[in-house]
Chains A and B, each alone.
Chain A
Amino acid sequence: DTGVSQDPRHKITKRGQNVTFRCDPISEHNRLYWYRQTLGQGPEFLTYFQNEAQLEKSRLLSDRFSAERPKGSFSTLEIQRTEQGDSAMYLCASSVQGTLNTEAFFGQGTRLTVV
């Protein structure tokens, strides 16, 4: 158990619907990352928060994607008007800033299937 929780674990949705995923990081971790992973590929960076500030967003994050981290605690990733190409595993990770250790703790992921 890494301590990072993601909910739901699986989501099946129809094309065009909106979906929202939640990530609860390890409580003292101030960095939070979202990644997307498709079959056979490594995780692709989507966005990154330090506390409540969203510091960086990948070009992969189209205007249909939005992420929030209110109060610097849990985070949500919303996908609007889902497309079949959005089908993937969405991973959340957290870590601590300011340590000489890039050890990030990942959640189990949310597997999204768009039909």
Chain B
Amino acid sequence: LAKTTQPISMDSYEGQEVNITCSHNNIATNDYITWYQQFPSQGPRFIIQGYKTKVTNEVASLFIPADRKSSTLSLPRVSLSDTAVYYCLVGDPMDTGRRALTFGSGTRLQVQP
């Protein structure tokens, strides 16, 4: 399993761009990088997934350097409602087992007014 390392917590203010970096030095060739968001008392919610370079959707952008040993989730112009825990997962989506959905401790993002 590719181990992931994220900051335990981050603080930001409304309107700022937030970048959360995840390290995954042992990422395998078939592994994808997936980010989930979790609000208190709710299940995690898929945000974005990528394999290399840059992926963007309506919620966030994901930057992956050429060596793929890290990735950065970018949240543009955060609001108070972005306060949540963000999880970085690394795994092979074609894997038939649990490997693709192993959560770490995540990064707690607190957005201040």
Which residues of A does B touch, CB under 8 Å? 2, 4, 33, 35, 40-45, 48, 50, 55-56, 58, 89, 91, 93, 95, 97-109, 111
Contacts and interface: CB of A to CB of B under 8 A. Distances in A.
A4 B46 CA distance: 14
Interface string B35-50: 0000001111110010
Interface in B91-108: 91, 93-94, 96-98, 100-106
A56 B98 contact: yes
B93 A100 contact: yes
Nearest to A103: B46
B93 A99 contact: yes
**What bracket does the count of chain B residues touching chain A fall in?**
20 to 34
B4 to A, nearest CB: 10
Given A41-B105, A45-B102, A100-B32, A2 B43 contact: yes
A67 to B, nearest CB: 13
Given A106-B44, A109-B41, A56 B101 contact: no
A55 B97 contact: yes
